[in-house]
Structure 1
Amino acid sequence: MLNGLKVGDKAPIFEGLDQNGKKISLKDYKGKKVVLYFYPKDNTPGCTAEACNLRDNNTLLAEKGYQVVGVSIDSVESHKKFETKFELPFPLIADIDKKIVEQYGVWGEKKFMGRTFDGTHRTTFLIDEKGIIAHIIDKPKTKDHYNQIIETWEK
């Protein structure tokens, strides 16, 4: 991980606004299992595939006690359009000031098509009921993220 967070660490407490302008905090999920997924950008092919895979399996995740929360540096307005377009049933936190991505160590240098730039590294943190990082998926499979979460958490 970029900032050294590892399995067994206490998950950093975050707070931000979701696509509806509602304040969301990790504290809201105390006693629940959280799938905290960081993604680079709304409405891009990989991020859309990942969000839709989680959407399509959200009921199954909820039945197992998992709460999905997405985070990117896009605005509340961008998240609202993304949520509406793809009927996403979970909160998307607008981390425009990059506080959460930096807390979780997923902001940093990336390379894409010969370019080097700073951006969000696609990463998912599986946080247990006590707020401890149970697993870190640092290479999410965008089209099969649900199965990856279940296989990782339930092995």
Structure 2
Amino acid sequence: MPEHRIDTESAHSARIYDYILGGDDNYPADREAGDAMCREWPALPVHMRANRDFMHRAVRYLAAEAGIRQFLDIGTGIPTPPNLHEIAQAAAPDARVVYVDNDPLVLSLSQGLLSGTPEGRTVYVEADLRDPADILGAPGSGRPSTCRSRSR
């Protein structure tokens, strides 16, 4: 991944989200933008955490209680622990998870972080939400086995 594709001088939505959630993958421009957003919408961090908490509860239920074994996370953003595959595979080690995003920053940060259990699989696909056929046809999206990406 060429580093020149990642602009650390300008605020980036995924890094702002990471910052507001308390993550480490952000830069001064992201923190400044996040602080400005929170001044205008003081409850934003609470709403963002509630969104993550809901995702955790829903995935845990689907994997543990409903028997779901395949998850597709479109627009995954920067990995923020616990990630979807960690929640799903804690409840069902054989769960398969495909993360999809079209952001080179997300791809760069995801490559080493999104590894699943030996029984399940975790895959990252670089694709665009506006092209579902591309997502569903991407290597690994049907039966994930390794972390792969598609360049756009």
- TM-score, normalising length from structure 1? 0.29
Higher RCO (C-alpha 8 Å, min separation 6): 1
The structure whose Rg is larger is 2
- The structure with the largest helix share of the pair is 2
